[in-house]
Amino acid sequence: MIGLLGAFLIASRALRETHIATAVARSLLRLPIVGSLIRRIEAARLTRTLGTLLRNGVGLVSGLSIARDVLGNVIASKTVTNAISKVKAGERLASALAEGRFFPPQTLHLIQLGEETGKLAEMNLRAAEIHDGQVQQTVQRLLSLLVPFVTIVMGLVVAGIVGSLILAMLSLNDLAL
C-alpha cells in the first residue's frame, strides 16, 4: 500500500511538469476510443462555455481566454491559446482552431456556420449539446461492453473460492487416514 501511495504521489508530481503532461495527453489522444472521447469532452466544454459567454455579451477574445481555463487537456489549451492570438490578428475562429487539429471537424463546421450566419453563440451551444449526446452514447456503449467482462471475472473469482473450499474439505479427508 505504501509503494502504491508513493507511486501515485510521484506520478501526480510528474504530471505537473508541462512536457510530461503534454506527452501523457498525446499518448491518451492516440488511443482509439479514449482519444475521440477526450476530444469530444473538451469540445463540449469549450463550446458550452464560449457559447454561454457570447450569449451574455462577453467578447470573443475574452470568452476564448475564459473558456481556455475550463479545458482539462494541455493540448486543447495550447490549441485555444494559439487560436486566441490568430483571432486577435483578424483570422476566423473556426480556421484558427482547425490549425491545432485537436477539435472534431463537426465542431469546427458548426463554429464556421455560426460565424457566417452571425449566430456564433447559438451554434456553440448546439455543438455542445451534440458532443454531450455523443459522449453519453459512447460511455453507455462502453459500459454495456464492460458488463459481460465483469460477469466473467466475477464468475472466475467465485469459482476460485469454491474450488479452494472443496480442495480444503478434501484434504481434511486425507488427514483422517
Q: Do the beta carbons of residue 146 and residue 153 sit within 8 Å?
A: no
First to last CA, the chain: 43
The pTM (predicted TM-score) of the whole model is 0.81
Q: Do the beta carbons of residue 43 and residue 127 sit within 8 Å?
A: yes
Number of H helices, E strands in the chain: 8, 0
Q: Considering only CA atoms, which of 21, 23, 22 is closest in space to residue 12?
A: 21
**Distant-in-sequence contacts of 165-171, Cβ < 8 A, 24+ apart:** none
pLDDT recorded at residue 176: 57
pLDDT recorded at residue 118: 94
pLDDT grade for 14, boundaries at 50, 70 and 90 = confident
- CA distance linking residue 73 with residue 110, whole number of Å: 21
**Distant-in-sequence contacts of 76-79, Cβ < 8 A, 24+ apart:** 76/42, 76/46, 76/102, 76/103, 79/103
Distances (CA, A) of 171 to 86, 164, 176: 76, 10, 9
pLDDT grade for 177, boundaries at 50, 70 and 90 = low
CATH number of 33-147: 1.20.81.30
**Helix (H, G, I), strand (E, B), or coil: what is residue 102?**
coil
Q: Which three cell numbers stand for residue 61?
A: 477574445
The tens digit of pLDDT for each residue in 80-108 reads 999 999 999 999 999 999 999 999 999 99
What single-letter amino acid sits at 122? Answer: E
Residue with cell 470568452: 63
Residue 175 scores a pLDDT above 90: no
Residue 146 scores a pLDDT above 80: yes
The tens digit of pLDDT for each residue in 48-70 reads 999 999 999 999 999 999 999 99
pLDDT recorded at residue 59: 95
pLDDT grade for 16, boundaries at 50, 70 and 90 = confident
pLDDT grade for 170, boundaries at 50, 70 and 90 = confident
What single-letter amino acid sits at 85? Answer: S
Mean pLDDT of the chain: 93
What are the residue ranges spanned by the domains of the chain? 1-30, 33-147
